[in-house]
Amino acid sequence: MDAQHIIAVGDYLFYGGNPERYLPFIHLLDAQGNLLKEVKVDLTPTLNKDYFASDVALTAQGSILVSINNSQNPQNPLPGKILSYDSDLDLQWSADIPGQILQMIPLADGTILVSGSKNSVMFLCKTDATGAVLWEKTYENGFACATLTQDGNIMLASIGRLIKVDPEGVVLWSRAGAPGFWQDTPWVTEDQDGNILVIGTNTAN
């Protein structure tokens, strides 16, 4: 994938079903936003459930990773899935992930960090280059997003909570956010000075 192309993922919503059905899609666009190719991710015969795209990421090896989640019965969801495509949007592999996926972080060695939620608690796992789970961890209640920190660790953010873990997912520290902050699942990143930036919703008066 070069700098002259854009990858977008989303969902078509089909009305009138019971329930209404989502169909994930992947679009390959040129630099001006013109559609070059579309792939519809139709795994209904496999999953027998409704599902939606949640994230897209590019690997250092040039693959395109797309995550999808089951949108029915969030208290007992099916595993999420990671689908890997080449630069022509031809499927390379797919893998089940034992949780609902919010974010994927491909690492330089081909492994993948995956964050999200499992049974209503924060979830983090690491997979090999083909999506096979190497380890998984769960934490406090919530739906986790993640970022890599400059010291080689991982920062997780969820509703009202920051958790820093080492590269194997072991907790280094955990702190509550300010009252009223991060009522929805936030996004987290680190600036060049090592400060943590959290973007979320503040419902405090």
pLDDT in tens, 47-64: 445 678 888 999 999 999
Cβ neighbours of 131 (radius 10 Å): 18
Q: Contacts from 194-201 at CB under 8 Å and sequence distance 24+?
A: 194/149, 194/150, 194/151, 196/155, 196/162, 198/157, 198/162, 200/157, 200/159
Of 73, 68, 66, the residue nearest 89 (C-alpha): 66
CA–CA separation, 74 and 185 (whole Å): 15
Average pLDDT, the chain: 81
Global pTM? Answer: 0.82
pLDDT for position 11: 66
CA distance 157 to 143: 8
The confidence score (pLDDT) of residue 53 equals 84
Judged against a pLDDT cut of 80, whether residue 5 lies above it is answered with: no
Percentage of the chain beyond pLDDT 70 is 77
Q: Which residues contact 47 (CB under 8 A, 6 or more apart)?
A: 70, 78
Look at 11-25, 82-96, 99-113 and tell me which has the smallest mean pLDDT: 11-25
Confidence band (pLDDT; 50, 70, 90) for 20? low
The pLDDT value recorded for residue 140 is: 84
Residue of 203 and 183 predicted with greater confidence: 203
pLDDT, residue 48, reads: 45
